[in-house]
Amino acid sequence: MPNKEIPYKIYLEESELPKQWYNVRADMKNKPAPLLNPATLKPMTFEDLRPVFCDELVRQELDDTTAYFDIPEEIQNFYKMYRPSPLVRAYCLEKQLDTPAKIYYKFEGNNTSGSHKLNSAIAQAYYAKKQGLKGVTTETGAGQWGTALSMACSYFGLDCNVYMVKCSYEQKPFRREVMRTYGATVTPSPSNTTNVGRKILEEFPGTSGSLGCAISEAVEAATTKEGYRYVLGSVLSQVMLHQSIIGLETKTALDKYDVHPDIIIGCAGGGSNLGGLISPFMGEKLRGENDYRFIAVEPASCPSFTRGKYAYDFCDTGMVCPLAKMYTLGSGFIPSASHAGGLRYHGMSSILSQLYDDKLMEAVSVEQTAVFEAAVQFARIEGILPAPESSHAIRVAIDEALKCKETGEEKTILFGLTGTGYFDLTAYQRYNDGTMTDYIPTDEDLEKGFAGLPKVE
């Protein structure tokens, strides 16, 4: 029945919710390159990673072959409190754009943390609890991940220590307060509570911090405290596995109405929401069952895919983490102060990097004022105030819909709306005041970042 009337929202019954996560690596012919031990340059083993991550999460990280992982019942039950997330047919936006394209978005902002990050936070907290740990440490940039993790930890009664990039800590006091309300300890990074933090402060006094630096501090804190492990909200393959819940729900809902998306779009910071959204669709493409166009959208100020190098790099500034092969701008690259904090990471998921290198996925970069123009347009017509990160995907979805208007093609466009923008109102203020600027790094800026890439043969 291909012509069933499509409702504004496609609902799923509780019984239709995914009971397993999907691991797209199982269907990849060219597997993502392994994480390397920075000391020996040999692939990281289970034993190498155990001091840093929970055992079960290490197993997930290293598993390139198991296609499906059961979602433990406790996690399924937590998911039921805020999932399925809405899959919306953007009828109002389509009408405004006067396009023959059909636009759908999957909205992940309908939980208190305000983004998709809760999907992995609850899984990581669950495995930490199951292993009998006392607590976890992490970093947060814009604050979404720290918020999600603090919610997940309080649910399971785990201690949660968040290293928050100092400029965010100062600029987003309300984010910090949500985390504290959920029981987390929040430390501005760099701090003098770790060796690496003290070293960075000595070298760069007055620095406002970076994600790479906060990661180094959180890893040091986890590995030096008894009963603690480190958790990360993006980039890693385990995170993308948990985020496959987004794509699996979407696919089940679309299949009910025989809808086949032609183009699937997501913003890309470390790649977890985009990877999670496209996973089941990419699986079909990899198995030769179906074809889709996938588009990763990144900020022009931090263009890992579109101007980065595919190389082994450090994941953090302190160089304490394993090396990952990814599209990267170099761990020393400091992006300009963009308002899409969640997209400012220098590197990218090694799974998405391999898919992009194999030309199975495309990438585009967009400038910040064009992104906010789309954000405001979307907020006014679809009602949701989008996060700046999510608005990157909105921008490209609108652009693709406008192309359809020119050609008359009735394409079906699906995009991931990762979160809400209530804590980003300073950015909206800049846009409304007309004082927002676009910054694009020069080739020389990028060369400086590339110069710091480790030599790995």
Ligand X SMILES: *Cc1c(COP(=O)(O)O)cnc(C)c1O
SS (H, E, C) 318-334: CCCCCEEEEEECCCCCC
In the bound state with ligand X, the residue whose beta carbon lies nearer, of 10 and 278, is 278
Please list every residue from 409 through 438 that binds ligand X, using CB under 6 A. Answer: 418-419
**DSSP per-residue letters across 133-161:** -SEEEEEESSSHHHHHHHHHHHHHT-EEE
Q: Which of 271, 283, 308, 335 is the binder for ligand X (CB under 6 A)?
A: 271
Encoded one letter per residue, x for contact with ligand X by CB under 6 A and - for no contact, window 357-396 reads: ------------------------------x-xx------
At a CB cut-off of 8 Å and minimum separation 6, what does 100 contact?
A: 404, 405, 408, 409, 410
Q: Which of 115, 124, 161, 317 is the binder for ligand X (CB under 6 A)?
A: 115
Please list every residue from 126 through 155 that binds ligand X, using CB under 6 A. Answer: 144
Please list every residue from 32 through 61 that binds ligand X, using CB under 6 A. Answer: none
Nearest-angstrom CA–CA distance, 140 and 131: 24
Contact call for residue 234 and ligand X (CB under 6 A) = yes
Region binding ligand X by CB under 6 A among candidate stretches 13-21, 35-43, 264-272, 317-325: 264-272
Contact call for residue 342 and ligand X (CB under 6 A) = yes
Which two structure tokens, joined as six digits, stand for 157?
């009664």
Q: Which of 86, 146, 270, 303 is the binder for ligand X (CB under 6 A)?
A: 270
**Smallest distance from ligand X to CB 389, Å:** 3
Is the distance from CB of 117 to CB of 108 less than 8 angstroms? no
Task: Give the closest residue to 206 by CA, choosing from 221, 188, 193, 186.
Answer: 188
In the bound state with ligand X, the residue whose beta carbon lies nearer, of 99 and 182, is 182
Q: Which of 212, 269, 335, 441 is the binder for ligand X (CB under 6 A)?
A: 269
Q: Which of 58, 268, 397, 413 is the binder for ligand X (CB under 6 A)?
A: 268
Taking the CB of residue 119, how many other CB atoms lie within 10 A of it? 29
Is the distance from CB of 367 to CB of 388 less than 8 angstroms? no
Nearest-angstrom CA–CA distance, 101 and 403: 9
Binding site for ligand X (CB under 6 A): 115, 117, 144, 234, 267-273, 342-343, 387, 389-390, 418-419
